[in-house]
Structures are given as C-alpha cells and as structure tokens.
Amino acid sequence: MLNITAARKSKRQGVELNIAPLIDMVFILLIFFLVTTSFVKETGVDINRPAASTAVDKDKATILIGITKDNQIFMDKREIDIRAVRANIERALAENPEGGIVVVADKESSTGIAIQVIDSCKVAGATNVSLAASLSSSAE
C-alpha cells in the first residue's frame, strides 16, 4: 500500500528555489548601468549665472569650470590659478577626449577672466567650449 503522507513530504522537500542566478543578474544590470552612465563633475561653487533668451541645454558637458564673482576659478571642487587652467584642461581632455567644456561664470565676474579661461581651453586643444547661461524668457 502506498503511504500518501510520506509521498507528499518527499515532494515538498525536493522543491528548491535557487536565487544565486537572480542575484548574478542584478549585479550584472547594476554594473551595466554604472558603466553606461556619464557622470558630470561639478565646479564646487555656487554661481549666479546670467540669463539669456537663446540659452540651450548641453547634453555632453562633462568638464565644468566655474568663475565666481570674485574672479576665482574652480574646477573639480578646487580652486585653480588662471595659469593652471590649460594644464587641467589637457588632463581632463586626456581622460575624456570627446567631453565638452562649459565655463560657468558669475554674472558679476570679470569678462576678461572668462575670455582668458576660454582661450586657455582652446589652446589646450578643446574644440567644444561653451559659456553657461540661465534660460529665461527675457535677457536681463
């Protein structure tokens, strides 16, 4: 005679759910998203940008240079001298040759400093240099 309760117990014990492949897939997806995401480095200071009615969003702005109202230049959350802009841009372009450069200048900063920074970027080999502005309906 067949014992029904013993047969049921053996069926319950034989079923296992292995979650190791699921965990592997989660880690693979996490690595995929981390590799494909482009990270934007901040300038490290708060800048009051001037407004412009023709301002457009940049998609690949990966190198940011900030100029404060006191004409201090910041890159990667540290202050740099005007003479060091070229070397820092060359290093950043070596890491990311296709990255665009955006100069984020305060509206009270000196125009001459902004022009010197843009000129240093172009001398360093940058081809895509932009000046940041806030988007507004009317220019101030």
Splitting the chain (140 residues) into consecutive groups of 10 residues, what average pLDDT does each group show? 62 72 91 76 62 61 84 89 92 85 87 91 88 64
80 plus 131 within the same structural domain: yes
C-alpha 19/C-alpha 47 separation (Å) is 49
- Output the pLDDT for position 139: 43
Q: Three-state DSSP class for 6?
A: helix
Residue 76 in any domain: the answer is: yes
**Is 105 a member of any domain?**
yes
In a domain, 124, yes or no: yes
Given a contact cutoff of 8 angstroms between Cβ atoms, the answer to whether 93 and 124 are in contact is yes
Q: Are 85 and 66 in contact (CB under 8 A)?
A: no
- Whole-prediction pTM: 0.59
| Structural domain of 11 | 7-36
Domain co-membership, 92 together with 124: yes
8 A C-beta contact, residue 77 and residue 65: no
**What's 112's domain CATH number?**
3.30.420.270
Assigned domain for 84 exists:
yes
